[in-house]
Chain A
Amino acid sequence: MEQRKSEPRKSAADKKLVIGWFSFTCSEDSTILLTELLNDHLDEWKKVVEFRYLKALKTKNSLDGLDVAFIEGAISSETQANEVKKIRNNAKYVVAIGACACTGMPSASRNAFVGEQINEKIKWYMSHFDYSAKVKKLEEIIKVDDKVDGCPMNVPAFLEILNKYLKIFKIA
């Protein structure tokens, strides 16, 4: 009798939280802080988290099927706005990370420029690249489910949010 091979089924215990980490206009201080958190948490997180998009650390990245997208930075252009909309469409939840994503500032400082502050050099950059008229916080572009404020992000708040989603997806 022919034996049929079957794919090993993933049990609930094998399920990992599929996350993406994205940076837009900012100093990327929260990304640096994330790399700091890995000093103590990488071994533990590898068991329960799949880093499906983390450009700072991986070459092979994908937007597909994200449980949670963590998005750092303000939105400076239509190109960036389209990118975050695409991320939103691929993620069940979106968390704004850090002050620039949550409030726009300080990356949105140029929104307050008046008169001579918008000098020839700034005009040159604005006209040669695809800047939006205003820098926007994340929730002006897409729905945001949670926020971790701070410059850089508040670490206890980030850990609390991560644990919240691990529980929502019944992991750990």
Chain B
Amino acid sequence: MHSGEITIDNITKIEGTAGLKVTIENDRVKDLKFIIKDYRRFYTEAVKGKPYIAASSFLSRICGTCSVAHLFASLEAIEKSQGIVISEQTKLLRRLAYNGLMIRDHALHLYFFVLPDVLGVDSIIDIPDNHDDIGHILLHDSFDIKKIGTAITEVIIGAAIHAPLPTVGGFLKLPDPSQFPDLISRLENIRSQVIRGIKTFFDYKESLIRNSDYLCLRNGKSYDFIEGDIINSTGKRVAEDKFHDFLKSVVIPYSEAEGYVFSDEHEDYLVGSLARVNFNKDLLNSRTRKDIQEYLTVFPSNNVHHNNLAQAIEILQCVDDAIDILKTLKIIEEKPVRKPPQAGVGVGVVEAPRGILYHMAKVNAKGMIEDYDVIVPTAQNQISIEDDLKKYFNENLSKDENTLRLEAEKIIRAYDPCMSCATNFLKIEWIRK
């Protein structure tokens, strides 16, 4: 293809929708725009003037699939603004619940969105009802995996979506272990199915290699989604509350979400499971590492499609970490830590399923939200998505249009973009001149 235009509406099997417009001229991509076009809900403005105690639950409504990530980042930001130090038990229970989020969220992306590409079918709906078919087996694995992730969040924080029990300083109601006596055995039983999924995504040989920077949390003690400093591939280490200072916001005029640049040494950066496994694979649970050694050899990787494999590995990490926590979990009755309201600013940074999520809360002396900011992973990844697509198109313009469309969708899908957080409409419009 030398020059011209093509339009594809509605890239599917992602959370929400977005747009892509490609202009080809003389066998080169002249212009490529990944268009985030969600109708903003302006929640960071709407939360102003609300009492801080009500803010986190409201802000969890930013996203359906990763609402727990927004909830915990917001609680952390508000607690820090108030000088509230949560108990070790609260930290442990949040970590356990977060494992449930990661298991369900990653399984949704990998099996419901990516697996059809692996199998060469359009949708999970098209997978044959044949019990011997590998697609059927993997799909039913996913049902079991998702259900156990959901079960963890339900028993620990009250629900998988918009969980009602976590609050500033702790829990409104503590979980009752007598309500989940079989969780450990269920987690043990799911391990072989999770490992079958890891092998599947290891064998999925898509490749797009580029030299991006990577950012993720690391605390040096464990594979942690909630606590740590932000690190990158050139050795920078930034405390959570300084993260925003290192980001340069990039206005993208055709997109409803801002992009971000972190380092002058790379033209873009990527957040998500690939960054986490690249930097933190030494911190994976020892049982996880032992059972999937051969699959870990590909990391560190610059192949964006390995984000899928990294997510599959993180499911096992979360299963094993949840087992370890549950084996020693003893719930002590305690009330949420509370203090009289004070004026202050707090920052909460967590690893959402698809990457670094930043919440900043500024609270006044009456305990009301005065200012609020959120930076979501998909907004951070959009420049990297564009650069990946430019590379792909420039190297593959001799291929037919259907192949180009499908492969472009696979690249976007590999990032597991969450359009509820950042966008709502995707169409590829290819302009030939």
A25 nearest in chain B by CB position? B39
- Whether B41 lies near A25 (C-beta < 8 A) is yes
Q: Contacts A31-B64, A55-B10; is A39 near B46 (CB within 8 Å)?
A: no
B residues within 8 A CB of A133? none
B111 nearest in chain A by CB position? A35
B residues within 8 A CB of A32? 15, 64-65, 108, 161
Q: Contacts A27-B67, A32-B161, A119-B45; is A59 near B39 (CB within 8 Å)?
A: no
Which residues from 68 to 127 on chain A have a C-beta closer than 8 Å to any C-beta of chain B? Answer: 76-77, 80, 106-107, 109-110, 112-113, 117, 119, 122, 125
- Whether B125 lies near A58 (C-beta < 8 A) is yes
Asked if B122 lies at the interface with its beta carbon under 8 angstroms from chain A, I say yes
Q: Contacts A28-B64, A40-B143, A151-B61; is A55 near B17 (CB within 8 Å)?
A: yes
B residues within 8 A CB of A159? none
Asked if A4 lies at the interface with its beta carbon under 8 angstroms from chain B, I say no
B residues within 8 A CB of A77? 39
Q: What total count of A-B pairs have CB within 8 Å?
A: 131
A residues within 8 A CB of B46? 106, 109-110, 112-113
- Whether B42 lies near A109 (C-beta < 8 A) is yes
Kindly identify which residue among B14, B122, B147, B420 contacts A60, using a CB–CB cutoff of 8 Å: B122
Min CB distance B359 to A, Å, is 16
- Whether A59 lies near B122 (C-beta < 8 A) is yes
Most-contacted residue by chain B among A27, A46, A60 (CB, 10 A): A27
CA distance A70 to B33 in the complex (A): 31
CA distance A112 to B41 in the complex (A): 12
- Whether B42 lies near A122 (C-beta < 8 A) is yes
CA distance A54 to B143 in the complex (A): 19
- Whether B12 lies near A55 (C-beta < 8 A) is yes
- Whether B63 lies near A27 (C-beta < 8 A) is yes
CA distance A39 to B162 in the complex (A): 20
- Whether A36 lies near B160 (C-beta < 8 A) is yes
- Whether A27 lies near B39 (C-beta < 8 A) is no
- Whether A57 lies near B123 (C-beta < 8 A) is yes
CA distance A107 to B61 in the complex (A): 9
Asked if A172 lies at the interface with its beta carbon under 8 angstroms from chain B, I say no
Binary A-proximity of B96-120 (CB < 8 A = 1, otherwise 0):
0000000010001000110000000
Which residues from 83 to 101 on chain B have a C-beta closer than 8 Å to any C-beta of chain A? Answer: none
Q: Contacts A110-B41, A129-B256; is A57 near B65 (CB within 8 Å)?
A: no
Which residues from 116 to 172 on chain A have a C-beta closer than 8 Å to any C-beta of chain B? Answer: 117, 119, 122, 125, 128-129, 131, 151-152
- Whether A129 lies near B162 (C-beta < 8 A) is no
Asked if B340 lies at the interface with its beta carbon under 8 angstroms from chain A, I say no
CA distance A78 to B328 in the complex (A): 55
Which residues from 233 to 260 on chain B have a C-beta closer than 8 Å to any C-beta of chain A? Answer: 253, 256
CA distance A42 to B144 in the complex (A): 13
B58 nearest in chain A by CB position? A106
Min CB distance B316 to A, Å, is 19
CA distance A128 to B420 in the complex (A): 20
A30 nearest in chain B by CB position? B64
CA distance A99 to B67 in the complex (A): 16
- Whether B13 lies near A56 (C-beta < 8 A) is yes
- Whether A61 lies near B12 (C-beta < 8 A) is yes
- Whether B122 lies near A35 (C-beta < 8 A) is no
B interface residues, Cβ below 8 angstroms from A? 10, 12-17, 37-43, 45-46, 48, 58, 61-65, 67, 104, 108, 112-113, 122-125, 129, 139, 142-143, 146-147, 150, 160-162, 253, 256, 419-420, 424
Could you list 22 A-B pairs, sorted by A, with CB under 8 Å? Answer: A23-B16, A24-B39, A24-B424, A27-B67, A28-B65, A28-B420, A31-B64, A32-B15, A36-B160, A42-B125, A56-B112, A57-B13, A59-B12, A61-B10, A80-B39, A106-B58, A109-B41, A109-B42, A113-B42, A117-B48, A119-B45, A128-B253
Additional A-B contacts beyond A27-B64, A112-B46, A125-B40 (15; CB < 8 A):
A23-B16, A26-B420, A27-B62, A28-B420, A29-B161, A31-B15, A31-B64, A33-B64, A36-B104, A39-B143, A56-B14, A60-B122, A109-B41, A125-B256, A151-B61
A interface residues, Cβ below 8 angstroms from B? 23-33, 35-36, 38-40, 42-43, 46, 51, 54-61, 76-77, 80, 106-107, 109-110, 112-113, 117, 119, 122, 125, 128-129, 131, 151-152
